[in-house]
Every structure is written in structure tokens, then in C-alpha cells.
Amino acid sequence: MSDVSGASSGSSMVRSRKRVMGVPKQCWCGYEISTLMSRSDNNPYRRYHRCSYAVSKKEEINVLKNKMSNLEELVKEFMMERGESEKKVFEKMEMKLETELFDKMDEVLMEAKWSMKKMCAGVVIACIVGFVIIKLV
């Protein structure tokens, strides 16, 4: 048997992994890790570890979280207003179509009435002419 594996023989860059026993000294972002103590009622005086950068930017992170929640609320309100405005636009379009439809129906009815009046006038004139002809004969 040979000691050569079936894998490619090209060079590759392998990161050496260090196993850290206990609490690491550095965060994955490169900053130092700070040991802090809890002041909560649930876990008083409990020690915990945080990235020193995150601890220094805690207020900024909270401000950004608040801004994010405010933006989410604004987006929800905007979407609701957009839905309402779209509904209003739809209603306006519907009213416009209805008025156009009623106007067309009125025009068609007026034409039908006018043609009916012409036909009635023609019948009346024909009856009068027929009556005059019968009286003359």
C-alpha cells in the first residue's frame, strides 16, 4: 500500500485552528473581550464576557435597534396607507367608468327615443295622408 492519498496534490492554504481553553482573549472581530458583571434581578453578580467594541457601542446599538423598529412601523403604516390610497384610486376609476357607461346608455336611449319619435311622426303623417286621401276619394 502506498501513503499517497487520492486527493489532489496541489498546495492549499490551511488555517491553523487553535483550541482555546477557557475564555478567549479576542473576539472574532479582533477586539479584546471584556469580563462584565450582571446587575439583573434574575442573575445578580453573574460574570459574562463581551466584545469590548460591542460594550463601547452599546448605546449606539440600542439607538440603531430603536431606529430599526421605528422604520418597521413606518413601513407598515406606509403599506396600509398605500393600500387605502390604491383603494381610493380604484373607487375613483370605478366611478369614472360608471359615469362613462351611464353617459353612453343615455346617448343610446336618446337615439332610440329620437328614432321612435321619427317613426311615430312618420306613422302619424302617413295616417293623416291616408285619411286625407280617403276623404278626397
1-17 pLDDT, tens digit per residue, is 444 444 444 444 444 55
For the chain, the average pLDDT equals 80
Q: Regarding predicted confidence, which is higher, 13 or 23?
A: 23
Domain ranges of the chain: 61-136
**pLDDT reported for residue 1:** 45
Q: What is the pLDDT of residues 24-74, one digit of tens each?
A: 777 777 788 888 888 888 888 888 777 777 777 777 878 888 889 999 998
- Name beta bridge partners: 36: 48
For the chain, the first-to-last Cα distance in angstroms comes to: 137
pTM of the model: 0.34
Q: Provide CB contacts within 8 A for 52, sequence distance 6+.
A: 27, 31, 32, 33, 34
The HSE-up count of residue 112 (CA atoms within 13 Å, CB side) is 6
Q: What's the whole-number mean pLDDT along residues 115-121? A: 89
pLDDT at 79: 84
CA distance to 68, 70, 71, per residue, from 64 (Å): 6, 10, 10
* pLDDT band per the 50, 70, 90 thresholds, residue 115: confident
